[in-house]
Structure 1
Amino acid sequence: MAEAHQAVAFQFTVTPDGIDLQFGRDVLRHIWLSGLVACRKRLIRLKSSVLSGVYPASPSTWFAVVAVTLGSLYGKVDPSLGVITRINDILPGQSVLTPISRTVISAVIFSSGVWVSGILVYRQTLRILLSYHGWMFEPHKKTSLKTKIWAGCMKVMSSRQPMLYSFQMSLPKLPVPALEDTVIRYLQSVRPLLDDDKFSEMKILAEEFQKDLGRKLQKYLHLKSWWASNYVSDWWEEYIYLRGRGPIMVNSNYYAMDFLYFTPTTNQAARAGNIIHSMLLYRRKLERGLIPPVRALGIVPMCSNQMVRMFNTTRIPGEETDRLQHLVESRHVCVHHKGRYYRLALYQNGNLLSPSQLQAQIQCILDDPSAPQPGEEKLAALTAGNRVPWAQARSSFFSQGVNRASLSCVERAVFFISLDEEEAGFNEEDKSSLSVYAKALLHGNCYNRWFDKSFTLVVFANGKLGLNAEHSWADAPIIGHLWEFTLATDCFQLGYTEDGNCRGDPALPLPPPYRLLWDIPPKCREVIERSYITAKTLADDVDFNCLRFTDFGKGLIKKCRSSPDAFFQIALQLAHFREKGHFCLTYEASMTRLFRDGRTETVRSCTSQSSDFVKAMEDPSQTKEKRLSLYRAAAENHQLMYRLAMTGKGIDRHLFCLYIVSKYLGTDSPFLQKVLSEPWRLSTSQTPQQQQKLYDLEEFPDHVSAGGGFGPVADDGYGVSYIFAGENLITLHISSKLSSPETNSHRFGQRICQAMRDLAQLLQSPVTPKL
């Protein structure tokens, strides 16, 4: 085979005339170039780490401090007040070094100490400033003097342009909330869900826990918080994600959509070429730390640590728990098309392939007429089914030979690409088009996504795009950051020719992408088929409704002096009450990235205030004035809870960690067991957008994002993702299970829309003044 011949770097044979050596010069040249590229990347990462580690200082400031110190000594002035002399006295090598050399070395050591001390003082000062969260709780446009002084200090402290990880060492640690506060807020959150008798029982359990076992568990949690960078994140990743033994498809993975209205080209290969190139440009910036950190108010940095594992990362299955494999370097992507797998190299002679070259490579895959090998077509169903069979199959059938090499190629890829044969996207004449699009991204046909990769890029036949992301390594705002950059770079920087192809000349033809080889035995095919049946049953049970709400958007809500998020969450409570006739435990995802290694926290949006308002809305005897008053109270309380969650005062991660400690100690807590067993029948999340503000939506209204979504969390509940796209559009992604007689995603979507209309009418209606 030509591939096998080219893969040999050198051969030798013994002949009567001696040993005959044959070198594959082309291969050796590529090996040499790969080594040079690897060394260059290591140096770039080292430089980035140094610059981020010494922020706001720089190597040039070190030279300046040394120069000033040496200049002072030359002028017979000792800035160290005798410290340099003391260093000189204890410096070894007196017989080797001259007095002048010893003085210079002592001055350099002193200067370096002053320089490092300045950096440490800066970090501690910034950490203290970042621990202040009063700015978040102040009314809009009513900033206190204290907050103004704090903001001024923050601007001064971060005036120098930071790199992505410049603030990491200065971020405060996530605090452990007081046990009493958590118990009180928990009881408040379940009060509207329980009758008097059940609430009294829960209150007794909570008080007993707080007095005895809770205090013991709290001490262990404080101990962990002292030495761990974050007392929640490692346990959250392990026990919520990696230890789950069920399918991650639908249950854990989530998706992101392309632009809602705009598609820059219908050429599948061209769109793939631009997008792949854009993502690799993002990876280059990420590796060099050149992406500015996300900052609230433009001055408060958020943790960027989740971005580290964005590329070159795969979830590896295990029988008891999975693990995340992250590589420092990878130079290829794995492409799937019609049940076949390809290795697509991203560099030629050390240079990143251009979009037009990538388009040509993708077109080679699309034009390949070959059929899948036996067992290859549904291979990815292993990643869609239960984790234990996949772990056992991986160990039994993919641990050696050609299967090991091919699986390694998939798992070590930068990311995974799926070239779908179907078209997708929004079609105004087809009301179900967005829902079909959503299901295609969420689960596809259950074997055309590699669900274990950090993310799968999906390119449809008509040029439409999407992502399917694995959840354990990071949360949605992280993948959203990449997606915003990618789409903006694709449209506003790279662009396309008039006929829809990538710009530029593909230059010399490249070797075609390498087709991965598999030798899948019949027993392995049986495991694949069982995993496929499991995944197909799960996918077919998903009832999805993705819809656009165009009556109004966040523009009108803000004019009504209301928070858009609070507005939507209260509308959800109203819609759910009209649907079921009662309230349920509601999960809204918040983030704790104001702290080091922070991930998420829960906002329990079903509250006594929101339930009082909903009851008033359904009571015809209530006046508009009363309803409006109750709405304002519910909205203010929701914003307060969201801010508490963001500032480390949430309750659910605290209770979760207390539960983990109790399990490590081998003790059972009826209170914690009750808390952790409660189902979230309404799981919600707002999709972030315009994190980087790369273009103006008012200037390009067709470039609004369609957002993303996830599967239902409870068998008899709903998953609701929403995005305020622009000022006049809200896109909803609603999921449930067809097998549940309690739910219907389309019916619930209509109820949400009607609830939003009713709230808008209430907020806009004039209030009769009291005489």
Structure 2
Amino acid sequence: MAEAHQAVAFQFTVTPEGIDLQLSHQALTEIYLSGLRSWKKRLIRLKNSVITGVYPASPSSWLFVVIAILATMYTRSDPSMGLIAKIQEHLPVSQSMSAQCQTVVSAVLFSTMLWLSLIFTMRLCLKQLLSYHRWMFEQHGKMSNTTKVWMALVRIFSGRQPLLYSYQGSLPNLPVPAIKDTLKRYLESVRPLMDSTEFERMTKLASEFESSLGHRLQWYLKLKALWAANYVSDWWEEYIYLRGRSPIMVNSNYYGMDFLYVTPTPIQAARAGNTIHAFLLYRRKLNREEIKPVSTVIPLCAAQCERMFNTTRTPGEETDTVQHWQDSDYIAVYHRGRYFRLWVYQAGRLLSPREIEYQIQRILDDPSSPSPGEEKLGALTAGDRVPWAKVRKEYFSTGVNKRSLDCIEKAAFFVTLDDDEQGMMGEDPAASLDRYAKSLLHGKCYDRWFDKSFSVVIYKNGKNGLNAEHSWADAPVVAHLWEYALATDSFQLGYNEEGHCKGEVDSSLPRPQKLNWEIPSECQEQVAQSLAVAQALADDLDFHVFSFRVFGKGKIKKCRMSPDAFIQLALQLAYYRVTVAHDREMFCLTYEASMTRLFREGRTETVRSCSNESCAFIRALEGGEEKKLHMRLFRSASEKHQHLYRMAMTGAGIDRHLFCLYVVSKYLGVESPFLKEVLSEPWRLSTSQTPIQQVELFDLVNHPEYISCGGGFGPVADDGYGVSYSIVGENMINFHISCKHSCPDTGAHKFGAQIKKALLDLLHLLCPDQSESKKTEASPPEDKKDQ
């Protein structure tokens, strides 16, 4: 095979005359250039680690301190107050070193210690400044003098031109809330969901827990908080994600969509070329730490970015593990049941988009058939984890299967060339979006590699999308990557008039390498079983995606209301109306994801959006009370939601604290009826907002059609809903709703209709003069093909 010969650097044959050695200069050159690239990356990492290690100072500041100390010494003053002389006394005596030279060396050592002390002091000051969160609780437009002074000090101590990880050492640790405060807030959150008898029983359980076991468990958590960078994150990753034994497809993985109204090119290979190249450009910036740290008013933790590329989730019988490799110079590609390794570097340089397109087209044109059992092999990653772990250990630990599996798992990321056409198209664009969402979330249940950190899907008509594994990072981190890829693809790389990628092609590029497999019949049976489990899960999924274009955050802000609080109250109202339609009239425990990345290694916290205030407002609204009462309760519910969100972001949430207390109780082997009941409560309404983080990459004023519909996820509870929403520009809100067909009380389209009605009703209540409730939604623009 040509691929095999190109991978060999030299050949030798033993003959009667000796050893006949044949060297391949091309292969040796490739090895040399690959090694050179690897060493360059190591040097860059070393340089960045030095710069990050001394931040907020700079390495050059050391020279300034040394020169300043030496200059003062030559003016016959001693800035060290005798310390330089003390250091000189303890220097090793050397015959070749003069007294003056010893003095200079002592001064340099003192200067270095002084410089390190200043860095430590600056970092400590910055850490204390970043621990101040009162600015979040101040009214919009009314900044206190304390906060103004604080912002000035943050700018002074933050240094200049920070790298991606520059702030990591200065971020504060996540605090452990007082157990009394957590229990109080928990009881407040469940009060509207329980009758008096149930609430009294839960109050008693909480009181007994606090007075007995609670403080003992709290002591262990405080001990961990002193020792670990974050007392939640490692346990959250292990017990919430990696120890889950059910399929990660639908239950854990999530997706991101392409532009809603624009397809930059209808050529599949061309779209793949630009998209893959954009991802690799992002990886290069990530390795060099050239990505600007994400910040609100203060910087956010960037630790999750470290495992974005070259990462996979490896199945285990009891728990999975996340494996990350420092580098990978190829990607894994799936097409029509076959797996390929595609090298993305040639002679130490990154392939151009046109060259990647050329290589992708080679894969598309490859006439070879899948090996027996290869076509649906990816179903193993979509089914239950224990069978996959056992099969992997038995059939993929040696030989050709191990080598091929290693190629997939060690790849920079995974790419699927899908034969389907997706996107907003056809006579029923609404239904096509629903199919598009389902395709990204689960596909055919075997044509994605769900264990990879993320998989890129390129459809036949040029549409693309993303499926991401959840354990290694949360959606905002992946969304940042996805925004960069979409913007770079369309606005920087672009396409020629025929729709192909720009640039030239090196025709000597080696062909993509088709992976080989030897799948025995017993393994194929397990693949079929995993596929059956995954297919049943996919078939049960009901999805609805729509863009709400009657109004957006622009009008909501004009009414002096938080857009997120407004949408959350609309979701509460919609859920209440759905239950009333089924003669249940109830509220439910609602999960809204909030980040805790203001702290080191922070991930998420839960905002319990269903509150006493929100329930009181909805009951008054649906009960026909007078409008003044509606308005007062509406404002009160909105302010309460904003307060809960800020509390969650600043480390005063409820659920992560209770979760960690439960983990400690399990380690100690003690049972807590209170914690057991709290952790078993179902989240029937799970919600998440996906904000646009890099607004500067998209010109929504001049090019409003270049917007993504965001992304979504599956339902958390069998009888509940998963709702993801993204606020785009001033006049659009995108919604992704999921639930299960098997539950007779849920329906994604039914819930979507109630959300639209609730949004209109709330705007009419809040700003009747601006309400456009009588207007129908404008039809979306047609999908454009920019050739």
TM-score bracket, shorter-length normalisation: over 0.9
Aligned pair partner of 1:744 in 747, 752, 773: 747
Query: 1:697, 1:704 within 8 Å by CA — same for their partners in 2?
Result: yes
Looking at structure 2, the residues matched to 51 and 426 of structure 1 have their Cα atoms a distance apart, in angstroms, of: 47
Residue by residue over 1:181-203, the C-alpha shift from the partner in whole angstroms, topping out at 9 and shown as x without a partner, is: 00000000000000000000000
Q: 1:699 is matched with which residue?
A: 702
The reply to whether residue 33 of structure 1 matches residue 33 of structure 2 is yes
Q: 1:412 is matched with which residue?
A: 410
- How far does residue 68 in structure 1 lie from its aligned partner after superposition? 2.1
Looking at structure 2, the residues matched to 73 and 428 of structure 1 have their Cα atoms a distance apart, in angstroms, of: 81
AA aligned to 2:8 is V
Aligned pair partner of 2:341 in 340, 343, 365: 343
Query: 1:294, 1:691 within 8 Å by CA — same for their partners in 2?
Result: no
Q: Map of 1:634-653 to 2, 5 A cutoff?
A: 634-653=637-656
AA aligned to 2:516 is L
Looking at structure 1, the residues matched to 498 and 8 of structure 2 have their Cα atoms a distance apart, in angstroms, of: 42
| Identical columns (%) | 61
Q: 1:192 is matched with which residue?
A: 192
- How far does residue 498 in structure 1 lie from its aligned partner after superposition? 1.2
- How far does residue 557 in structure 1 lie from its aligned partner after superposition? 0.9
- How far does residue 159 in structure 1 lie from its aligned partner after superposition? 4.7
Looking at structure 2, the residues matched to 724 and 14 of structure 1 have their Cα atoms a distance apart, in angstroms, of: 69
Looking at structure 2, the residues matched to 725 and 70 of structure 1 have their Cα atoms a distance apart, in angstroms, of: 58
Looking at structure 1, the residues matched to 601 and 517 of structure 2 have their Cα atoms a distance apart, in angstroms, of: 40
Residue by residue over 1:626-659, the C-alpha shift from the partner in whole angstroms, topping out at 9 and shown as x without a partner, is: 0011000000000000000000000000000000
Q: 2:783 is matched with which residue?
A: none
Query: 1:341, 1:516 within 8 Å by CA — same for their partners in 2?
Result: yes
Query: 2:594, 2:648 within 8 Å by CA — same for their partners in 1?
Result: yes
Looking at structure 2, the residues matched to 562 and 14 of structure 1 have their Cα atoms a distance apart, in angstroms, of: 82
Q: 1:446 is matched with which residue?
A: 445
The reply to whether residue 178 of structure 1 matches residue 181 of structure 2 is no
Residue by residue over 1:493-547, the C-alpha shift from the partner in whole angstroms, topping out at 9 and shown as x without a partner, is: 1111111111111133411111111111111100100000000000000000111
Q: Map of 1:140-289 to 2, 5 A cutoff?
A: 140-289=140-289
AA aligned to 2:384 is N
**Larger CA deviation: 14-23 vs 80-89:** 14-23
Q: 1:478 is matched with which residue?
A: 477
Residue by residue over 1:709-758, the C-alpha shift from the partner in whole angstroms, topping out at 9 and shown as x without a partner, is: 00010000000001111111111100000011121111011011101111
Seen in structure 2, the aligned counterparts of structure 1 residues 690 and 18 have a Cα distance that, compared at 3 Å, is: closer
Aligned pair partner of 1:678 in 681, 684, 688: 681
AA aligned to 2:383 is G
The reply to whether residue 726 of structure 1 matches residue 729 of structure 2 is yes
**Larger CA deviation: 88-97 vs 559-568:** 88-97
Q: 1:423 is matched with which residue?
A: 421
- How far does residue 12 in structure 1 lie from its aligned partner after superposition? 3.5
Query: 2:3, 2:510 within 8 Å by CA — same for their partners in 1?
Result: no
The TM-score, its normalising length taken from structure 1, stands at 0.98
> Would you say how many aligned residue pairs link Structure 1 and Structure 2?
764
AA aligned to 1:167 is Y
Q: 1:611 is matched with which residue?
A: 615
Query: 1:704, 1:726 within 8 Å by CA — same for their partners in 2?
Result: no
Partner of 1:296, secondary structure, is coil
Q: 2:586 is matched with which residue?
A: 582
Query: 2:698, 2:706 within 8 Å by CA — same for their partners in 1?
Result: no
- How far does residue 428 in structure 1 lie from its aligned partner after superposition? 7.0
- How far does residue 97 in structure 1 lie from its aligned partner after superposition? 3.0
Seen in structure 2, the aligned counterparts of structure 1 residues 496 and 11 have a Cα distance that, compared at 3 Å, is: closer
- How far does residue 490 in structure 1 lie from its aligned partner after superposition? 1.0
Looking at structure 2, the residues matched to 367 and 150 of structure 1 have their Cα atoms a distance apart, in angstroms, of: 61
Partner of 1:48, secondary structure, is helix
Query: 2:56, 2:123 within 8 Å by CA — same for their partners in 1?
Result: no
Query: 1:365, 1:513 within 8 Å by CA — same for their partners in 2?
Result: yes
- How far does residue 692 in structure 1 lie from its aligned partner after superposition? 5.2
Q: 2:122 is matched with which residue?
A: 122
Partner of 2:504, secondary structure, is coil
Looking at structure 2, the residues matched to 317 and 85 of structure 1 have their Cα atoms a distance apart, in angstroms, of: 61
- How far does residue 766 in structure 1 lie from its aligned partner after superposition? 7.0
- How far does residue 16 in structure 1 lie from its aligned partner after superposition? 3.1
The reply to whether residue 360 of structure 1 matches residue 358 of structure 2 is yes
Structure 1 unmatched ranges of 5 or more: none
Query: 1:454, 1:473 within 8 Å by CA — same for their partners in 2?
Result: yes
Structure 2 unmatched ranges of 5 or more: 580-584, 771-787
AA aligned to 2:399 is G
Looking at structure 1, the residues matched to 482 and 446 of structure 2 have their Cα atoms a distance apart, in angstroms, of: 23
- How far does residue 19 in structure 1 lie from its aligned partner after superposition? 3.1
- How far does residue 604 in structure 1 lie from its aligned partner after superposition? 0.3
Looking at structure 2, the residues matched to 468 and 93 of structure 1 have their Cα atoms a distance apart, in angstroms, of: 65
Q: Map of 1:308-707 to 2, 5 A cutoff?
A: 308-427=306-425, 429-430=427-428, 431-580=430-579, 581-620=585-624, 622-691=625-694, 693-707=696-710
**Larger CA deviation: 350-359 vs 51-60:** 51-60
**Larger CA deviation: 17-26 vs 37-46:** 17-26
Looking at structure 1, the residues matched to 133 and 569 of structure 2 have their Cα atoms a distance apart, in angstroms, of: 25
Q: 1:132 is matched with which residue?
A: 132
Seen in structure 2, the aligned counterparts of structure 1 residues 3 and 259 have a Cα distance that, compared at 3 Å, is: closer
Query: 1:496, 1:502 within 8 Å by CA — same for their partners in 2?
Result: yes
- How far does residue 379 in structure 1 lie from its aligned partner after superposition? 0.4
Query: 2:55, 2:159 within 8 Å by CA — same for their partners in 1?
Result: no
Stretches of 4+ aligned residues off by more than 6 angstroms:
none
AA aligned to 1:4 is A
**Larger CA deviation: 9-18 vs 192-201:** 9-18
- How far does residue 369 in structure 1 lie from its aligned partner after superposition? 1.6
Q: 1:73 is matched with which residue?
A: 73
The TM-score, its normalising length taken from structure 2, stands at 0.96
Partner of 1:256, secondary structure, is strand
Residue by residue over 1:180-231, the C-alpha shift from the partner in whole angstroms, topping out at 9 and shown as x without a partner, is: 0000000000000000000000000000001110010000000000010000
**Larger CA deviation: 639-648 vs 108-117:** 108-117
AA aligned to 2:333 is V
Query: 1:256, 1:468 within 8 Å by CA — same for their partners in 2?
Result: yes
The reply to whether residue 713 of structure 1 matches residue 716 of structure 2 is yes
AA aligned to 2:724 is S
Looking at structure 2, the residues matched to 101 and 339 of structure 1 have their Cα atoms a distance apart, in angstroms, of: 72
**Larger CA deviation: 428-437 vs 318-327:** 428-437
- How far does residue 278 in structure 1 lie from its aligned partner after superposition? 0.8
Residue by residue over 1:317-338, the C-alpha shift from the partner in whole angstroms, topping out at 9 and shown as x without a partner, is: 0000000010001100000011
Query: 1:481, 1:692 within 8 Å by CA — same for their partners in 2?
Result: no
Looking at structure 2, the residues matched to 187 and 428 of structure 1 have their Cα atoms a distance apart, in angstroms, of: 50
- How far does residue 122 in structure 1 lie from its aligned partner after superposition? 0.8
Looking at structure 2, the residues matched to 5 and 393 of structure 1 have their Cα atoms a distance apart, in angstroms, of: 31
**Larger CA deviation: 52-61 vs 381-390:** 52-61
Partner of 2:377, secondary structure, is coil
* CA RMSD, Structure 1 to Structure 2 (Å): 1.3
AA aligned to 2:534 is A
AA aligned to 2:671 is D
